[in-house]
Amino acid sequence: MINITPAIDIIGGKCVRLTQGDYSTKKIYSANPLEVARSFEDHGIKNLHLVDLDGAKTGKVANQKVLEDIATGTNLHIDFGGGITTTADIESLINAGARQMNIGSLAVKDPECFIEWIKVYGDKIILSADVNGESIAVRGWQEASEINLFTMVSGLLQHGIKYVTCTDIATDGMLQGPSFALYEKLRAEFKTLYITASGGIHKINDIHQLNLMNIDNVIVGKAIYEGHIPLSELAELLK
């Protein structure tokens, strides 16, 4: 069965969601991210996707304290993303409790550094590939690039990347279903890659369909917070 990973996106220490990566659409769901994380764990969920949106926008980790609180207050396997630009960031986040790091902007802007991190940190490194169509976007989706998703992944596979989180910006936060065609193409092209689908999940059937496509993991965000997928339904899938 596909793994299920709820998302907590952080701005100013609070749990929020955006629509299509637009910071002006910010909606606050909770002032207590630890409480939200504990509710996930109480329903049998074991993984958490934690995004520092302040860090993603500014290029500097800003909400490490939230990571520390959740890591000490739960047993969740946390993958953290947003603003990771230095080796010191990675070491600090590992010490704060992150099991894996989602890295997007730096992989585009300094691929040599990213490749070195893959060599040093191995499975702790996840390529966070946020796309418009098949083109990578960076800096909290504020900047476009001309780098093709499939070209980038193909090159990084040669350097040992094993994990990719792929978010289609056009679907993220829209609650209209994920980009099934994109994930189908990724799965067909990269048989051994651990693929996480992110963006657009609206109903439990979306998860079932991704499972049938042999996608390894799915991130669920707004659908939980807006009540479209109750945690009790996710708990049933995990049994």
Q: So which residues are the catalytic ones? A: 9, 130
**Interatomic CA distance for residues 122 and 100, integer angstroms:** 10
In degrees and rounded to multiples of 5, residue 65 shows phi and psi of -60, -35
Nearest Cα neighbor of 169 from 215, 209, 147, 136 is 136
User: What distance in Å separates the CA atoms of residue 87 and residue 14, rounded to the nearest whole number?
Assistant: 26
Angle at 116 between CA 104 and CA 64, to 5 degrees: 50
CA dist 223 and 228 (Å) reads 5
Residue 56 carries which DSSP code?
H
Residue 34 one-letter amino acid? L
